[in-house]
Amino acid sequence: MPKRTPIGQSSAHLGLHDQLPVNPQSTTSRVLLDNPLLRVVNFSFDAGQQLTEHSSPRAVVVELLEGRMRFTVEGEPHLMNAGDVIYLAPGARHALDAETACRMSLVMIDMDLVEETDDE
């Protein structure tokens, strides 16, 4: 488990591309930030790697940094290319299939700690 990152403390995470290589026939992840408000995890996937359907109690923002993957949300497939972003509401069922070697950033936000607004 990584060291917890206080909400009020800034931090820099550099050189991540080299620290999280795409390994043959593997999925690799590294937790970058972890505190009560959010968790940031970077992933690398070799082509053909999958994550089976699952959900998170947190809201999730997924950004594909490199490659191409099929990302399914509540049964609806989306072909993601580098730079694409998907938002997952808390509890949304999702799965992915890396069509090429990929790098992905995932940000999980604890909505219980976020003030609700009328701007929905």
CA distance readout (Å), 14 to 5, 24, 40, 48:
16, 23, 14, 27
- pLDDT range class, residue 118, cuts 50, 70, 90: very low
Could you tell me the CA-to-CA distances from 45 to 10, 13, 58, 76, 102 in Å, in that order? 28, 20, 22, 21, 5
- Measured CA to CA, the distance from residue 111 to residue 58 in angstroms comes to 6
User: Is 115's pLDDT higher than 70?
Assistant: no
Per-residue pLDDT reduced to its tens digit, 28-68: 999 999 998 999 999 999 999 999 999 999 999 999 999 99
Q: pTM for the full model?
A: 0.87
CA 98 from centroid of its chain's CA atoms: 13
Q: Domains in the chain, start-ordered, CATH in brackets? A: 25-113 (2.60.120.10)
The percent of residues in the chain predicted with pLDDT above 70, rounded, is 92
Please give the order of strands across the beta sheet that includes 68-73. 50-54, 94-98, 68-73, 76-81
- Whether 102 has a pLDDT exceeding 60, the answer reads yes
Q: How confident is the model at residue 80 (pLDDT cuts 50, 70, 90)?
A: very high
Decide: 61 and 85 in contact? Cβ < 8 Å.
yes
pLDDT per residue as tens digits for the range 1-18 = 557 888 888 988 888 888
- Residue 117: pLDDT band by 50, 70, 90 thresholds? very low
